[in-house]
Structures are given as C-alpha cells and as structure tokens.
Amino acid sequence: MVSSSNRDSATDEENSSCDEPVSMSKCTFSEGEKVLAYHGPRIYEAKVQKAEVRKNEWRYYVHYLGWNKNWDEWVGTDRLMKHTEENILKQQALDKKAGVDKNIRTGRSSQTKGKGLAADKEEMKSLAKGKKRKPDVSIQENPATEKHIKIQIPSNLKKVLVDDWDFITQQNKLVKLPRSPSVDNILTKYLEYRSKKDGMMTDAVGEILNGLRCYFDKALPTILLYKKERQQCREALKDDIAPSRIYGAEHLLRLFVKLPDLLASVKIEEETLTRLQQKLLNFLRFLQVNQNVFFLSEYDGPTVTE
C-alpha cells in the first residue's frame, strides 16, 4: 500500500465539527463510522476518527483498521465509500485484479516504522562502498515476496549520502527549509523530462512518481530523519504541509536507501519488479545528471547543538 497523500492545512476558522450546521447536508460520513477508503490502487477498511470542514469542504481523519496509527490521515469524500455489501465486492474485485492474497497482510503497519535514518558513520561508509546495508530488525520479511527489490544507487550519489551524514551528525548543520527545488518540483521536472523524451505522457511513470511522493510524505517524519533534524521537522510541518513541498533532493535520496525494505512487504510479480527497478534507476540517473542543480554543496540551514 502506497503511503498517504498530502495533508491539508487549515486555520481554526476553517475547521468545523460534523455536528455543526456548516455544510451539514454534505457531511456524508460521521465520526466513529466504519468505512471503506481508497489508498493508492486498493481499498481498505477504515474508521472515521474526525470530520471537519477544511477550506470549504468536508475532510475526514481516518484510521486504517489493522494498521499502525502512523498511517492515519485526512482524506476527502472522494476517497471514502460506505461500508456496504456492494462496496465490499468492489474491494474484493480490486484485490483480485491486483493479485492480492486476502490471507496475506501486505503493506504498512508498524513494521515499516523502523528506527529512523540515524545510521552510524561506519554504516554510511559501507553504503558509499556499495556494501549492502543490514535491514532494520523491525522490517519483517514477507513470505509472499520471493524477490527483494534491488536499487543500485550511483556512486556519486552514495557520496552525497555520506556528505549528508557528515554535515548533520558531525558538523551540526541542517538543510535550510523550505528547499528549492522541492521534492514536488523535482518529480514534476522528471515527468516533464520523460514526456519530452518519450514523446508522450506515460501513465506508468506518473503512477510511480505519485507513489514516490506518497512514500516520501509518510516516511519522512518517521524513518528519514536524523535525530538532530526532528525539531526542525516539527516546526516546518506544524501547519500540516506535506514534506514533499518543504524538503528537497537531500531527503528524497534517503528514501531510496529505505525503499527496498518498505517495498519488501508488497507482493510484486517478477516482471513488474524488473520494470519498477529500471524506472527507479532511470530516476536516480536523472538526479545524478542534475546533481549540481538539485543538491546542496553546503548546508546553510540552522546550526544544531547537542
């Protein structure tokens, strides 16, 4: 299951509970109601925790049943369906189409939470030399996944990861936020690049980029930050702004270190896996070619102290 979409920001004046008269007729789902929720290409059982008017439309804070609360999110009415027999059949049809075994738990849960990106120096040196990192102990192997996705990070981008570690953990320097170009900007630029190169807009590439954005937004606060960056993150995202609109290439690259473990719990056919690996490699090459544009040579953000 791909990670969540962008969170919505709102002021106190924009918020209203479901039992207030504002847009009462449009409050389709009530707090505590069991629903079916679209998340990426699949439908999951969820429970409405809150219902509020945000920016003149109803938004619902949902908890996916059986999943870690870290995956709770605000969604719009278009993402939800009533928990009816007819809609359950739609859910089963999508699962069947995606080749999902209903007895196998695929996707998120607490196993993807991990211990964060606070790797030690030796671990980052190993990454730079091309050695395989030991997976987080919290990432459990899924017996349904026979092959582990392999993402070969180009050598000069591995050096970026090591420099990234050094700037933050040794020099106590942070990336100045918001970054420009942001992750959103970079993904958009790549889609435009592929469209011009291929002579057409490719749905497959767009879908993968949307997936990367979702994974990034969900993974950033939990597993992509060093300890020294957490306070900065809390301040930067206090208005529920999506991380992909605030952070840049430095943090996006960290996601590719974690992706093999994040995708390990998703059942992927071998042919699809091969195509996915190639598309991810193409994107990394794009980052590599544009390294001087996308990545900082020095971190000019606030200095942190122990």
- Return the amino acid letter for 198: D
Q: What is the pLDDT of residue 207?
A: 85
Query: CA quadruple 67, 235, 76, 82: dihedral positive or negative?
Result: positive
How many C-beta atoms surround the C-beta of residue 143 within 10 A?
A: 7
On whether the pTM is more than 0.85, the answer is no
Q: What is the pLDDT of residue 79?
A: 87
- The tokens for 249 are 């290439």
Q: With cut-offs at 50, 70 and 90, classify the pLDDT of residue 13.
A: very low
- What are the pLDDT digits (tens) for 248-261? 999 999 999 998 88
Whether residue 135 is predicted with pLDDT greater than 60 in this model: the reply is no
What span, in angstroms and rounded, lies between the C-alpha atoms of 191 and 157? 21
Number of residues assigned to the chain: 306
Q: Report the candidate in 301, 266, 258 with the shortest Cα–Cα distance to residue 127.
A: 258
Q: With cut-offs at 50, 70 and 90, classify the pLDDT of residue 168.
A: very high
Residues 99, 4, 255: CA angle, nearest 5 degrees:
90
Q: With cut-offs at 50, 70 and 90, classify the pLDDT of residue 109.
A: very low
Q: With cut-offs at 50, 70 and 90, classify the pLDDT of residue 136.
A: very low
- What are the pLDDT digits (tens) for 203-227? 678 888 998 999 999 999 999 999 9
Q: What is the pLDDT of residue 68?
A: 77
Q: Report the candidate in 60, 57, 54 with the shortest Cα–Cα distance to residue 30.
A: 60
Helix, strand or coil, per DSSP, at residue 271: helix
What span, in angstroms and rounded, lies between the C-alpha atoms of 296 and 40? 32
Q: What is the pLDDT of residue 182?
A: 96
Q: What is the pLDDT of residue 147?
A: 57
